[in-house]
Amino acid sequence: MATTVDGKTADFPTDRGPLNYLNCDRGILSWAFTLDHKRIGLMYLISIMASLGLGGLFAMLIRVELAHSGQQIVDENTYNQLFTLHGAIMVFLFILPGIPAALGNFVLPIMLGAKDVAFPRLNLASYHLWVIGALFFLLALVTGGLDTGWTLYVPYAFQTDTRVLTAGVGAFILGFSSIFTGINFVATIHTLRPPGMTWFKMPLFLWALYATAIIQVLATPVLGITLLLLAAELVLGIGIFDPTKGGDPILFQHFFWFYSHPAVYIMILPAMGIMSEVIPTFSRKHIFGYRFIAYSSVAIALLGFLVWGHHMFVSSQSSLASTIFSLLTFSVSIPSAIKVFNWLATMYKGSIALDTPMLYALSFILLFGIGGLTGLFLATLSTDVQLHDTYFVVAHFHYTMVGGTLIAFMAGLHYWWPKITGRMYNEFWGRLCSIGVFAGFNLTFFPQFVMGSRGMPRRYHDFPEKFEIFHFLSSIGAFLMGLAMLGVLIYLLYSLFKGRRAPANPWGSATLEWQCSSPPPKENFAETPSVSDPYDYDHIKYDPEKNCYYRVN
Amino acid sequence: MVDFAVGTLSDLSRMALLAQSDGGSFWLPPPESVSSWAVDNVFYYILYLSYFFFALIFAVLVLFVVRYRRRPGVEAVKTATHSTLLEAVWSLIPLGLVIIMFYAGFVGYVELRSPPEQAYEILVTARKWSWQFTYPDGTMATDLHVPVGEPVRLVMSSEDVIHSLSIPAFRVKMDVVPGRYTRTWFQAKQPGKFDLYCTEYCGTGHSDMLASVVVHQREAFDAWLVEAGDILGNSATPVEAGEKLFRLHGCGSCHSTDGTPRIGPTLKGIFGETHRFSDGSSLAVDENYVRQSINEPGAKIREGYKNQMPTYKGRLSNDEITALIQYLKSLDGG
Ligand SMILES: [Cu+2]
Ligand SMILES: [Cu+2]
């Protein structure tokens, strides 16, 4: 399908055919039971963005309540439900599946030049399970809510009369959804790489998804076991966690964090993968230190299993255990630091374009930098005693989960939006809102570091006067960030109808997904595309007339 | 809009000023215990490293974006795509720095976890949603009173869910877990009053589970202990004693005295009312019923409430219950 541009041969179609994956089959069933990874990815995308909206709404309500001391809009019990549901929805329905199941699903097979994932039916099952799990969450929400915090700590979870069991079933099902995605990605990357794409010629996003998938497959079963034991305790009273029956509530925390710490890397590794695609593309530079980045993904995935006890330094876990966990935790910090330096080095002497995805990528470097550096305070034994369960921790993990994962998700969303929808969004509004998100985010969470280290405990419905100013600033920031996110929603929706039609390769990327039309046809590629270095931009040239890039050989 | 921005900026500067007005730094409250160094030294070590690395990342990022911004006709320059030396350097330097971090944190942790041999021991009982401090002579209090300049060891347990005792000024935090005892210690540097928080989420009243730490000179502490020890003897009337007991035993975390229901019914003006119970029976409230409610709360469950009240049998003497009853009577509707 060679076309000619500028007198040179372009290797891939800049024009799309009449049929693509969006319009090739019609009817609701052709979506609900599709086996096409792109459709499944798109349904995931819509679903997780709806979850993001719901979780974000709860976040706004929380910040309104906390704008001043004293009760503003909700009482203690409602507030406790708000922060629990905010956390549970954001973690289980948005951040965990966000990048892998939505963007990953769409991009991974195309990046491999493949037609689909290895197990399309398993992929569909994963989405269906996600929906069922989400329905259980909603059921819990309308039948009495949940007020345990997303951590479900016992014995409080045994004593509350909110819907621990329903939400637990939901999380259990969502766990399987995640496992299915993981299995699929591992199998796909092992078996469907095209000829010529060796492990070290894979785009780094695939390395990141691969490392993530390993965690999904190995860690998530532990969440399942934990939830089963919790259910057995709730229903049968087996006495494993409940101190009144001779059980050990600290054991629950070990179980919980044995999953939930690695889960942190399910959230952040794919985000790092997006960085490793966006930064080289918009700098038109080969990624620096490919192997270090690839290895560090795997290193983080494996080391991430050995550090869960850093959540329990003041829990009455033995001091020896705490010491070992602290030491191991520092070992994970090094690979993360390496990545940041490598991304910066990639930009050196590049040709840096500040398009929306790149602005998010730069935000990511700064915010994740702060998130990582403040993590050092929490990994250190004695400082964690002061900071544990204060707003310092709240700020830290928002800098990594929002400043990291959400911002990277936004980078990826804007980067692949033309590919997914076939439309370009308005670049001016894109940039403006990304700056708004950055400013609002910092105003929301930076003051939380300060009040946290000064002692403000987390999960408080009310607070002493001396913390008033910090909370007030934080609420203003949240309002700003919410507004910017709303702007994103509006211009993205607008682009679906009025946006300029997207060329196959609007950014000048060298990975394979830009070699098929935007949006891609159902089978992605008519013939297996030829593989070359995913970060070599020498063959990708700009066509100013069509405002897009094409490939020359 | 401009007003709003200016307002926010002035709030930001106010934050910086306010944070230091209590004698602490921007980041930490003033160090009030002799072991504060265990936290503060390594905190500032990490803080300055963080400033340095963040400034470095920020500067390099801005520099690159400005210098190498895309310009027409200017292509990216090919540079090395990896450099083992460079990557080794920026792995090993942080590695060295975090090993120091780990060690300093470890040394501090050992200090925070090792009370001196002859510490003054206070038992801490946490329950939803109040603290109770019990002294060696049996005296109980809802605020933590301690002598200055002496090591104090807290031996803590919880009656219901996990709580956590946090005194930011002393750099103290330890979870209080049902079914086991946990310990922590501190030694106050000077007399004063400091905040004590519950930092493990424990339900409705979590953010009300506050107390004060009152640091006295030794003589003042002894005097306080004598006075606090004999509630009945040191109160002018049984009503006054009852009120103190009501606070001391945390009744107020479940019962209001102003008519609003909480976890439990309000205790305002209940005498003479007829109450219905979950088993269908009913009864007019009198002294005997109140006494039974305190000693065997499960015997009659007020309709619309759950059996959530702990028993006080053995914890309150006859005279104390009588005083409580007198106090409750004084709360009549009028
Ligand atoms: Cu962790
Ligand atoms: Cu609490």
> pLDDT value at position A25?
85
State how far Cα A478 lies from the chain centre: 20
User: What average pLDDT does the structure give for chain A?
Assistant: 92
Number of domains chain B is built from? 3
Residue that is last in its domain, among B184, B201, B228: B228
Q: Does any domain span residue B93?
A: yes
Of A283, A286, A337, the CB nearest to B81: A286
pLDDT tier for residue A2 given thresholds of 50, 70 and 90: very low
Q: Which residue has the higher pLDDT, B16 or A25?
A: A25
Strand order in the sheet with B192-198: B144-147, B211-216, B192-198, B163-167, B172-176
Whether residue B223 is found in the same domain as residue B125: yes
**What's the burial of A75, exposed, middle or buried (CB within 10 Å: 0-12/13-18/19+)?**
exposed
The 3-class SS string of B309-331 reads: CCCCCCCCCHHHHHHHHHHHHCC
- Phi, psi of A499, rounded to the nearest 5 degrees: -70, 150
CA dist A414 to A269, A420, B156, Å? 19, 10, 53
CA distance B203 to A70: 17
Domain stop point among B75, B92, B112: B112
User: How large is the average pLDDT for residues A438-458?
Assistant: 96
Which pLDDT band, with edges at 50, 70 and 90, does A8 fall under? very low
Looking at the structure, tell me whether residues B164 and B249 fall in a common domain: no
Residues B139, B221, single domain; the answer is yes
- Structural domain contains residue B203: yes
Find the CB nearest B54 among A244, A246, A373: A373
Residue B310 and residue B161 in contact, taking contact as beta carbons nearer than 8 Å: no
Q: What is the pLDDT of residue A78?
A: 94
Q: How many CB atoms lie within 10 A of CB A205?
A: 26
| Residue of A383, A390, A444, A449 to mutate, testing the B interface (most B Cβ within 10 Å of its Cβ) | A383
* Pairing assessment for the beta strands B120-127 and B151-158 based on DSSP bridges: parallel
| C-alpha Rg value of chain B to the nearest Å | 28
| % of chain A surpassing 70 pLDDT | 97
The partner residue sitting opposite B109, judged by closest CB among A243, A288, A382, is A382
- Tens place of pLDDT per residue across chain B (334 aa): 566 666 666 766 666 666 556 677 899 999 999 999 999 999 999 999 999 999 999 999 999 999 999 998 888 888 888 888 998 998 899 999 999 999 999 999 999 999 888 899 999 999 888 899 999 988 888 899 999 999 999 999 998 999 999 999 999 999 999 999 999 999 999 999 999 999 999 999 999 999 999 999 999 999 999 888 878 877 888 888 898 888 888 888 888 888 888 888 999 888 888 889 988 888 889 899 999 999 998 888 998 888 888 888 878 888 889 999 999 988 875 4
Pick from B54, B93, B101: nearest CA to A372: B54
Q: Is residue B63 part of a domain?
A: yes
Q: How confident is the model at residue A449 (pLDDT cuts 50, 70, 90)?
A: very high
User: Does any domain span residue B133?
Assistant: yes
* Strand bridging mode A3-5 / A8-10: antiparallel
- CB atoms B179 and A443 under 8 Å: no
CB contact under 8 A, A386 and B61: no
pLDDT of res. B333: 58
Task: Check if the beta carbon of residue B56 is closer than 8 Å to that of residue A262.
Answer: no
- Cα–Cα dist A444/B193, whole Å: 31
Residue given tokens 């109450």 in the structure block? B275
Q: Is residue A20 part of a domain?
A: no
A302: exposed, middle or buried (Cβ count in 10 Å: 0-12, 13-18, 19+):
middle
- Can you give the pLDDT at residue A541? 87
- Determine phi and psi for A339, rounding to 5 degrees: -60, -45
> pLDDT tier at A9 (50, 70, 90 boundaries)?
very low
**Domain membership flag for residue A14:** no
pLDDT of residue A118: 95
- B65–A323 CB contact, under 8 Å: no
CB A370 within 8 A of CB A314: no
Sequence length of chain A is 553
Cα A444–chain centre separation:
20
- The pLDDT assigned to A5 comes to 41
Ligand nearest to the CA of B200: 2
| Inter-chain CB proximity B182 and A460 less than 8 Å | no
* Å from CA of B185 to ligand 2 middle: 20
Q: Which residue of A has its CA nearest to B49?
A: A373
Residues with CB under 5 A from ligand 2 (ion): B 163, 198, 202, 206, 209
pLDDT higher than 90, residue A328: yes
Q: Answer yes or no: is B209 within a domain.
A: yes
A147 within some domain: yes
Parent domain of A69: 34-551
Predicted confidence at residue A12, as pLDDT, reads 47
- A2 domain residue, yes or no: no
Indicate whether A327 pLDDT > 90: yes
User: What is the number of the ligand closest to the CA of B127?
Assistant: 2
Pairwise CB contact (< 8 Å): A153 & B174: no
Per-residue pLDDT tens digits for A40-53: 999 999 999 999 99
Residues B212 and B262 both lie in one domain: no
B112, B138, B161 — which closes off a domain?
B112
Residues B198 and B166 sit within 8 Å (Cβ to Cβ): yes
Q: Is B53 on the interface with A (CB under 8 A)?
A: yes
DSSP B175: E
B253/B219 same-domain check: no
Distance A308 CA to ligand 1 centre (A): 5
Assigned domain for A318 exists: yes
B residues 244-283 lying closer than 8 A (beta carbon) to A: none
Choose among A247, A326, A462: nearest Cβ to B207. Answer: A462
To the nearest whole angstrom, how far is the Cα of A366 from the nearest Cα of chain B? 7
Comparing B249 with A469, the larger pLDDT belongs to A469
Residues B244 and B220 in one domain: no
pTM equals 0.90
| Separation of first and last alpha carbons in chain A | 14
Both B311 and B272 in one domain: the answer is: yes
Q: Is the domain of B272 the same as that of B174?
A: no
Distance B199 CA to ligand 2 centre (A): 5
Q: Which residues pair with A5 in a beta bridge?
A: A8
Instruction: Closest CB to A289: pick one of B82, B109, B180.
Output: B82
Q: Mutation test of the interface with chain B: which of A386, A448, A472, choosing the one with the most B Cβ atoms within 10 A?
A: A386
How far apart are alpha carbons B311 and B4 in whole angstroms?
54
Amino acid at residue number A339: K
Are B170 and B186 contacting, i.e. CB atoms less than 8 angstroms apart?
yes
How many A-B residue pairs are in contact by the CB < 8 A criterion?
A: 279
Instruction: Tell me, yes or no, whether B171 lies in a domain.
Output: yes
- The total of structural domains in chain A comes to 1
Q: What range does the domain containing B134 cover?
A: 120-228
Tokens standing for A529?
A: 């595309």
CATH number for the domain harbouring residue B95:
1.10.287.90
**Is B47 in the same domain as B10?**
yes
| Secondary structure element (H or E) that encloses residue A213, with its range | helix A204-236
R_g over Cα of chain A: 23
Q: For Cα atoms B183, B185, B188, give the angle at the middle one, nearest 5 degrees.
A: 160
As a whole number of angstroms, the distance between CA A157 and CA B109 comes to 30
Which CATH number characterizes residue B269's domain?
1.10.760.10
Question: Environment class of residue A88 by beta-carbon count within 10 Å: exposed (0-12), middle (13-18) or buried (19+)?
Answer: buried
The phi-psi region of residue B138 (left if phi > 0; otherwise alpha if psi is between -120 and 50; otherwise beta) is left
What's the confidence (pLDDT) of residue A15? 58
B10 and A CB contact within 8 Å: no
Distance, CA of B304 to CA of A461 (rounded, Å) = 25
Partners of B199 on chain A (C-beta within 8 Å) are: 388-390, 457-458
Do B19 and B91 fall within a single domain?
A: yes
Which CATH number covers residue A153?
1.20.210.10
Is B233 within the bounds of a domain? no
B151 CA to chain A: closest CA distance, Å? 19
The predicted pLDDT at position B11 comes to 67
Say yes or no: B209 and B274 in one domain.
no
Q: Are residues B64 and B89 in the same domain?
A: yes
Residue A6 has pLDDT above 50, yes or no: no
Look at A386 and B160 and tell me if their CB atoms are within 8 Å.
no
* Contact at CB, B61 and A365, closer than 8 angstroms: yes
Q: What's residue A4's pLDDT?
A: 41
* Amino acid symbol at B131: W
Q: pLDDT per residue over A279-296, tens digit each?
A: 999 999 999 999 999 999
B213 interaction partners in chain A (CB closer than 8 Å): none
